[in-house]
Amino acid sequence: MLGIVIPAHNEEQLIRGCLSSVRLASQHAALMGEPVETIVVLDDCTDATGILAASCGVMTVTIRARNVGMARAVGAKALLARGARWLAFTDADTLVSEDWLAAQLSLQTEVVCGTVSVRDWSPHGRHAALLQAHFQETYSDCESHTHVHGANLGVSAAAYRCVGGFRHLACSEDVALVKALVDAGCSVSWSSLPRVVTSARTDARARGGFAGALLNAVAQRLAESAGAAAMQPAIAAGA
């Protein structure tokens, strides 16, 4: 059995789209009919995320932690107890490709670190073009990249157990897990083959996560632009 873990905190606007994409990925022909179970970990949700997830026919579990590391760990533990041999992790604001799960398994390694892409930058309003340009210039969406994303991560059950699973970190829990797996000598594929599209939302769920990194990138670019503009009068005066 294959398992998919999705942490969620107040994701009623996006959870159905995510689960629809996960359902298609679970039915890919390359999986040869192997059962796939999905669990949504409802972390301190106060909206309809749980109702919507249940209506999509997936398992749910509720915690009150506001801690993504704990949420991923709780979901993984539940699926391992049900016999999962492979754990795939994504996020509630993410759409996985139809061959996402099959692509992870096709790499035949103990760990798969995939990349992310963003289609809609509009949540950043007038800064959308600036942020898109920054992302395209600085992000490596290719084989042998060095990115770690909880939104596109896969690990064998044996390797996950070997390192003790996710630490209960409020952010960078994915980076900590992959570091532990690498240190343990697990085989890792740094691949752009498993595809996911994530959101560029501005309301970060975890401080220090992907949304936060995008906001920091906007601030950085604006500071650079302001600095360059300030330099112009000085250069002109010295000319």
* pLDDT, tens digit, 9 for 90 and up, residues 221-235: 566 655 544 444 444
Asked whether the beta carbons of 35 and 1 are under 8 A apart, the reply is yes
pTM for the whole structure = 0.87
State the pLDDT at residue 201: 83
Q: Are the C-beta atoms of 6 and 43 separated by less than 8 Å? A: no
> Does domain 2-226 fall into CATH 3.90.550.10?
yes
Region of residue 33 (left: phi > 0; alpha: psi -120 to 50; beta: else): left
pLDDT at 203: 77
Binning pLDDT at 50, 70 and 90, where does residue 187 land? very high
Q: Which of 29-38, 118-127, 179-188 has the lowest average pLDDT? A: 118-127
